[in-house]
């Protein structure tokens, strides 16, 4: 069952419950099979916090290349598998390179740690292949400015080992 995400004043809010680093610039600019820059959909958004200033400015994007049945990921906050659908908005965290092809999709070796909020304000996070996100090419998102300084390329987390949904 699909649930609806809505954005209020730059904060992604989930309606109806669960919706089912420095370094490596050469890796980020490498030419894997990636979405085009024209398809990129990145924006500044706010992740609520419990301490002043009561939010963190982050970069958000949407799920865009999931099959009609969605893409299953392991919610690392709850330990449960959830399904993300095209149109769901997520916050981008660190990115990783998956040379083993366990989490990357269709030759795109990049993996993102993503965050989202549930209807009661709970934060959830998972890992997902870049292929499913509207980030555009690595050369585009790597240079995208992060609202708290630097670029998305600076959020490099290292090499990925394992599956996204386990």
The tens digit of pLDDT for each residue in 42-76 reads: 999 987 777 776 788 899 999 999 999 999 999 99
Is 150 a member of any domain?
Answer: yes
Is 21 a member of any domain?
Answer: yes
Is 164 a member of any domain?
Answer: no
Q: Which residues of 109-118 are buried (b: 16+ CB within 10 A; e: fewer)?
A: bbbbbbbbbb
Confidence of residue 34 (pLDDT cuts 50, 70, 90): very low
Residue linked to tokens 């992604």: 12
Is 92 a member of any domain?
Answer: yes
CB 47, CB 56: distance < 8 Å: yes
Q: Cβ neighbours of residue 67 under 8 Å, at least 6 residues apart?
A: none
pLDDT tens readout for residues 112-165: 999 998 888 788 999 999 999 999 999 999 999 999 999 999 999 999 988 887
Is 24 a member of any domain?
Answer: yes
pTM: 0.75
**What's the number of domains the chain is made of?**
1
Element spanning 140, H or E: helix 138-142
Is 165 a member of any domain?
Answer: no
Is 25 a member of any domain?
Answer: yes
Is 110 a member of any domain?
Answer: yes
3-state secondary structure of 40: coil
CB 53, CB 46: distance < 8 Å: no
Where helices occur in 12-119 by DSSP H, the ranges are: 25-29
Structural domain boundaries, residue 61: 4-157
């Amino acid at each position: 069952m699909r649930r609806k995400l809505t954005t209020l004043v730059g904060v992604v809010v989930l309606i109806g419950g669960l919706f089912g680093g420095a370094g490596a610039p050469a890796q980020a600019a490498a030419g894997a099979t990636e979405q085009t820059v024209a398809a990129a959909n990145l924006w500044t958004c706010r992740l609520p916090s419990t301490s002043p200033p009561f939010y963190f400015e982050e970069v958000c994007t949407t799920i865009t290349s999931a099959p009609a049945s969605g893409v299953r990921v392991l919610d690392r906050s709850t330990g449960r598998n959830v399904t993300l659908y095209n149109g769901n908005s997520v916050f981008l965290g660190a990115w990783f390179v998956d040379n083993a092809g366990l989490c990357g999709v269709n030759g795109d070796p990049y993996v993102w740690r993503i965050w989202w909020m549930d209807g009661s304000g709970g934060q959830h996070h998972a890992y997902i292949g870049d292929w499913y996100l509207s980030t555009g090419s690595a050369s585009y998102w790597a240079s995208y400015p992060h609202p708290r300084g630097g670029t998305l390329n600076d959020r490099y987390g290292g090499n990925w080992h394992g599956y996204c949904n386990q």
